[in-house]
Amino acid sequence: MTDGTIPITDPSDSTADVALGVDVGGTNIKLGLVCANHEVLAEWTLSTHEERGPQDALTRICQTLNDFLDQHNIERKRLLTAGLATPGTMDIPGGLILRPPNMPHWVNYPVRDEFAQLLGVPVAYLNDGSAAAFGEFWAGTGRDHSNMIMLTLGTGVGGGIIIDGNLLHGVNSFGSECGHIVVDSSDDARTCVWGGGQGQLEAYASASALVARVLDRIASGESSQLSEQGESLTAKDIYDAAGVGDTLAVESIEKTAYYLGIAVTTLVHTIDPGLVVLGGAMGFGGAGDPIGSRFIDVIRQEFVRRAFPLVGERTTIDFASLGSSAGYIGAAGYALATMDGSGI
Amino acid sequence: MTDGTIPITDPSDSTADVALGVDVGGTNIKLGLVCANHEVLAEWTLSTHEERGPQDALTRICQTLNDFLDQHNIERKRLLTAGLATPGTMDIPGGLILRPPNMPHWVNYPVRDEFAQLLGVPVAYLNDGSAAAFGEFWAGTGRDHSNMIMLTLGTGVGGGIIIDGNLLHGVNSFGSECGHIVVDSSDDARTCVWGGGQGQLEAYASASALVARVLDRIASGESSQLSEQGESLTAKDIYDAAGVGDTLAVESIEKTAYYLGIAVTTLVHTIDPGLVVLGGAMGFGGAGDPIGSRFIDVIRQEFVRRAFPLVGERTTIDFASLGSSAGYIGAAGYALATMDGSGI
């Protein structure tokens, strides 16, 4: 798997202006201080403590930042802006987090303006999938491209779409939800974790879907070295078992890749970005990773088989390169890119 | 069905600047002279005479225009620009038509620059699905929106996507090919007319797919008033039979709508445009059309069942309003909108 280790520049070596990037998840908040040249001066992971609500988390984020600035004698005026990424649903123009799944205490909250007030700089607000995509676009696998789709494969499947350098937010702040395109229209298709969403990508290609696929096959009597693991099984376990040749693990990863190939076909025929980037906790990959290579090869094969030849030849499918830092780096990069109010 | 009759303004009542819009198809070329306020001064339909190649067609288009300008004493300098729409594949930045299906004599031809030279004004070049979408966006059902997806249901299924007022062309001039999103991933899924494209929308929701669906069911022994029609059957026949209660016709139209509901779910979760417009030769609709109403109701129901509730509630699905004129009107409107080189 991509380890996502980002080199940290010693802040005493830097005099550049910086942006704070914040990527809020249900369990953890990742944040970092990022320069316009993509250098990262510091990164942190905080517990979300979701049950304490957003005010508590935003206060802790500011405290973490302030302690760091004090400790390193960094002038506060070097902080120009901040980018804040959260899961949807959300109202991006209004700066509101609306009703994110699994975050019952972050509901209908004016998160952008509250954060801007605490922090004392303008805050750009965006979806977490968009933030990861913008990170890879700005400083990662997509840095030489002007168009890109990113899929983040984790508990769910997130996405981000960049067209001519602009993030696609959607008129209801619901664009780029690539995990919710339909890949199986059969009557017995699986449903997403939110209960609806029959046949949608998330139920077929998330880390949770991979685990569910393996557990289903074990329950139906198939043999695997994973048989004894029960409900504690993770995507990483399946990846490791595939690495030592466990057939059920290999086939289950290939089936995941097959559905991703279908999804990539649909997305590329819609957007035609030239580049599709795969990231997230299930983003197998990196040089010399045979399972990751097999995973992406099956995606490519299925895509090329289904796509128009011209676009099949001219589309690159590749792994993300910033690991779990993509979200806060993208949030910071987006804040810097939209500082002039151009609203990328 | 939408008759698409566009009111024609008497050119002697007009002194406005105009753009020529041209919509090239394999059988016919539709063109018209359009003002910036959406008024149409004239429209024509020419035979493509595909076998004579593009130079012949472009020459006849110019002749038609020149005759009209002469006949009505319209000063030539009032013609500011032209928009030219063709089927793909194409290279939009290069102004080349590459290899359109069913147009073997229009291959690798510099159609934009040849036309500009013959016409003496700048020519904006775009995909035919995009042109129809831009027409509806500029002067039709989408005129109060800033984002829109259009599906054109004809022999194939075309599409056009507008995001924040900009057409989505794609990096390989292959964006917005909404007819080629996957709606059926089963092993025995149908394929598109170009031979590949297994399970893609065009094979499930075009007029040809509707006809194929009815013929298949008749061949398997089901009864219908359409049974005797054989290979001459058209989508219009099926529409008429449904209007007088033929069960097989009604069910086949509903099945077409079902797959469109799946496609709309995928497209809306990707783009979140707030508006989806259905047009093309199979674009049933208009007030007081019970079959058209049933068709769009089934699409809406299937979409709302599958979509996230928030976006399901906030997305309008509606019929196009410019009929078969949408393409040339959109080409002209696009040419006017991009005259300053902003490249919408």
Question: pLDDT tens digits, residue range A77-98?
Answer: 999 999 999 998 999 999 999 9
Gap between the Cα atoms of A209 and A156, Å rounded = 8
Cα-based torsion angle of the residue sequence B223, B228, B230, B234 in order, rounded to the nearest 10 degrees: -80
pLDDT of A133 higher than 90: yes
Exposure letters A24-55 (e unless 16+ CB within 10 A, then b) = bbbeebbbbbbbbebbbbbbbebebebeeebe
pLDDT, position A248 = 97
A330: which 2 tokens?
A: 């993208």
Min Cα–Cα distance to chain B from A177, Å: 5
- The pLDDT value given to residue B343: 45
What does the block give as tokens for A70?
């004090």
All residues of chain B having their beta carbon less than 8 Å from the beta carbon of residue A168 are 163, 271-272
Question: Which of B169, B185, B204, B304 should be substituted to probe chain A, the one whose Cβ sees the most A Cβ atoms within 10 Å?
Answer: B185
Are A322 and A6 in contact, with CB atoms under 8 Å apart?
A: yes
Under 8 Å CB-to-CB from A81, ≥6 apart: which residues? A19, A20, A121, A122, A123, A124, A335, A336, A339
Amino acid, res. A259? Y
Residue pLDDT, tens place only, A23-71: 999 999 999 999 999 999 999 999 999 999 999 999 999 999 999 999 9
Q: Give the residue on B whose Cα is nearest the Cα of A267.
A: B181
For chain A, where are the E strands, in sequence order? 18-24, 28-35, 40-47, 79-86, 90-91, 96-97, 123-127, 148-153, 157-163, 166-167, 275-279, 316-319
C-alpha–C-alpha distance, residues B336 and B8, integer Å = 19
Structure tokens at A265: 């076909």
> What do you get for the CA distance between the two ends of chain A, in Å?
31
The pTM of the whole model exceeds 0.80: yes
B310 touches chain A (CB under 8 A): yes
Mind telling me how many Å the CA of A320 is from chain B's nearest CA?
20
Rounded CA-CA distance B146/A192 in Å is 30
The per-residue pLDDT string of chain B (344 residues; one tens digit each, 9 = 90 and over) reads 344 568 888 888 888 899 999 999 999 999 999 999 999 999 999 999 999 999 999 999 999 999 999 999 999 999 999 999 999 899 999 999 999 988 999 999 999 999 999 999 999 999 999 999 999 999 999 999 999 999 999 888 999 999 999 999 999 999 999 999 999 999 999 987 766 789 999 999 999 999 999 999 999 999 999 998 888 999 999 999 999 999 999 999 999 999 999 999 999 999 999 999 999 866 566 557 889 999 999 999 999 999 999 999 999 999 999 999 999 999 999 999 998 754 44
CA dist B75 and B78 (Å) reads 6
Question: Residues 8 to 47 of A: which have CB under 8 A from any B CB?
Answer: none
- Cβ neighbours of residue B171 closer than 8 Å, sequence gap 6 or more: A146, A147, A272, A273, A274, A314
> Among A109-113, A170-174, A337-341, B104-108, where is mean pLDDT lowest?
A337-341
A314–B271 C-beta distance less than 8 A: no
Do A168 and A175 contact (CB within 8 A), yes or no? yes
Q: What percentage of chain A exceeds 90 in pLDDT?
A: 84
Judged by DSSP in three states, A92 sits in coil
pLDDT given for residue B241 in this prediction: 95
Query: Angle at the Cα of B219 (from B212 to B192), degrees rounded to 5?
Result: 25
A180/B310 CB distance under 8 A = no
Mean pLDDT of chain A: 93
pLDDT tens figures, B26-83: 999 999 999 999 999 999 999 999 999 999 999 999 999 999 999 999 999 999 999 9
Look up the ipTM and state it: 0.94
- Secondary structure class of A256 (helix, strand, coil): helix
Contact with chain B for residue A189, Cβ under 8 A? no
Q: What is the pLDDT of residues A145-186, one digit of tens each?
A: 999 999 999 888 999 999 999 999 999 999 999 999 999 999
Contact A191, A198 (CB under 8 A): yes
CA distance B123 to B112: 6
Positive or negative torsion for Cα B30, B32, B37, B41? negative
A319: confidence class by pLDDT, cuts 50, 70, 90: very high
Are the C-beta atoms of residues B292 and B321 closer than 8 Å to each other?
no
C-alpha to C-alpha distance for B50 and B47, rounded to whole angstroms: 8
By C-alpha distance, which of A176, A153, A126 is closest to A328?
A126
Interface list for A 59-118 with B (CB within 8 A): 89, 98
Q: How confident is the model at residue A229 (pLDDT cuts 50, 70, 90)?
A: confident
Cβ-based contacts of B315 with chain A (< 8 Å): 172
Mutate which: B92, B97, B164, B266, vs A, most A CBs within 10 A: B266
pLDDT digits (tens, 9 = 90+) for A268-282: 999 999 999 999 866
Q: Best of B182, B186, B188, B260 to disrupt the A interface by mutation (most A CBs within 10 Å)?
A: B182
pLDDT of residue A344 exceeding 60, the answer is no
